[in-house]
Amino acid sequence: MRDNRPIRLCFVLLFVTYVFSDKLSWSGDAADRCFCKLQGEVDDCSCKVESLDSLNNNKIYPILTSLLSRNYFRYFKVNLKKSCPFWSDDSRCALRDCHVNVCQKDEVPIKIPDVDTHSEKHERNKYLKELNEGKQGFEERCAEERELGALDATISEEKKAEFQTWKEYDETLPLFCDIDDEHSNDMEYVDLLLNPERYTGYKGPSPRRIWRSIYEENCFKPEKNYGYGPDYGKDASIESMFFIARGMCLEKRVFFRLISGLHTSINIHLCDKYLFPAKNGFGQSYWDHNLQEFQQRFDPALTHDQGPQRLKNLYFTYLIELRALAKAAPYLKQKGFYTGDNQEDEDVQKGVNDLLDIIRKFPDHFDESQLFKGNTKEMQQLKSEFVLHFRNISRIMDCVGCDKCKLWGKLQVLGMGTALKILFSGDSMGPDSIVKSQDKDFQLTRTEIVALFNAFGRLSSSIHAIETFRKLAS
């Protein structure tokens, strides 16, 4: 009797290859799928992706990259020791082994009391049901996370002494809003250039819980089910419901796209600076662009058709922060960027002015006057919920179990919050409105400014990286 097993095996192999071919390699078709929809107008805006690519990659990115290497912007003051307010600490190994040199008590700049309203306490209690979730596979990831998630705490004694003069200068400035942790002795300076945002090995249940809490508990949802799809709620498709954004009002869509754009930016940085093992098992591991990882996160065939929309949401978030910088340009030009080094301060101010001039000349800014129109009770309630949800997300950043990830998460959320604060400040709203130093009800602290520029820098870097991946995939 003839043995047909080899023939059957060939057919099986052909079938498997056909079904999974898109998942095995990054083909030209896969590249087309990922980038073909990344064009035209950004949702809820008139600005086009192509215009933002040209503006960012040719004008903004080079200036901003240079500017963020300056002393004023490279040192970020942050509290990485706050415990998670929503669920028990998952005791990630990185948290136990990473420490940053803490400034002395008299070196800590402006102290501002925290605000914790009754409604916010009630809001965070709902997270207690998430206690002690997802510790599987902890041991095998510890070694990698200790190395990749550890913060470089190197700050010279000379630089620490300079922080005291920064404090004295900042204390002469009036304050406007509450900044998380400013009252705490656990506030500490971190050198951002020594701790770049990149792959850290932080993966598994812990980060999934962070994003699940953000999307499912703090993003708005349509009042009706518009067909979420069979995978709604699963980790592989955590954003599924937002393909039916037409079921939500503009304000709720804006909130989601802001968060999704931030999420996309973070994912792009992990792909752009990915740690590869040593080639052929010899030598050292190295950092490089990971095209396959980019495909896994943004190819529509592998993301339930969500990848291109995630990329577009990055451009939306970029537009929001771009508009905030344009609106605050008169204020920032008069602000002064004090470090105690006169030449350095002049160079920074000139760089900031050049950047702001480019941004203000951009003809197609986001129009914030379209948000929360009218003074109805419904709009007031919606704006209150908008603020509360965003505040909760900022607190969720204290639940991140990797210090480097927490550092950049807190910085970028604070930067986004500062941008929103700018948009809704001043006597008027809209593309032509501004805030200036003479506005007695408006003020930005050093920490807010550092976060604002660095957060925008992260978005700028992501859009620049998209062009890199586009070229690599062609």
Nearest to 27 by CA among 272, 302, 312: 302
Task: Count CB neighbours of 462 within 10 A.
Answer: 26
What's the CA angle centered on 64, arms 59 and 65, to 5 degrees? 110
- Single-letter amino acid code for the residue at 26: W
* Catalytic residue flag (residue 402): yes
**Which helix (H) or strand (E) element contains residue 189?**
strand 188-191
Residue 68 makes CB contacts below 8 A (sequence gap 6+) with 74, 192, 453, 454, 457
Q: Where are the alpha helices (DSSP H) in 90-204?
A: 93-97, 118-125, 138-149, 157-170
**Strand, coil or helix: 440:** coil
Annotated ligand binding at 211? The verdict is yes
Structure tokens at 305: 């058709």
Annotated binding residue at 263? Answer: yes
Q: Which residue has the tokens 């501004």?
A: 434
Of the candidates 224, 218, 227, the residue with the CA atom closest to the CA atom of residue 256: 218
Please, are residues 137 and 201 in contact by the beta-carbon 8 Å criterion? Answer: no
Ranges assigned E (strand) in 210-327: 274-276, 286-288
Q: How far is Cα 285 from Cα 220, in angstroms, rounded to an integer? A: 42
Is 470 among the annotated ligand-binding positions? no
Cα–Cα dist 383/252, whole Å: 10
Please give the structure tokens belonging to residue 463.
């859009």
Cα atoms in the 13 Å half-sphere on the side-chain side of 310: 28
* H or E stretch covering 287: strand 286-288
- Which of 93, 98, 103, 405 is labelled catalytic? 405
Which of the residues 45, 47, 84, 402 is marked catalytic? 402
Report helix, strand or coil for 76.
strand
Strands 75-78 and 188-191 turn out to be: antiparallel
- 405 neighbors 145 (Cβ within 8 angstroms): no
Binding site annotation covers 200? yes
Q: Which amino acid, 261?
A: G
Active site residue 103: no
Angle at which helices 446-473 and 291-298 cross, to 10°: 100
Phi, psi dihedral angles at 231 (to 5 degrees): -100, 10
Q: Which residues are annotated as a binding site for FAD?
A: 198, 200, 211, 260, 263, 297
Q: Which residues are annotated as a binding site?
A: 198, 200, 211, 260, 263, 297
Q: Which residues are catalytic?
A: 402, 405
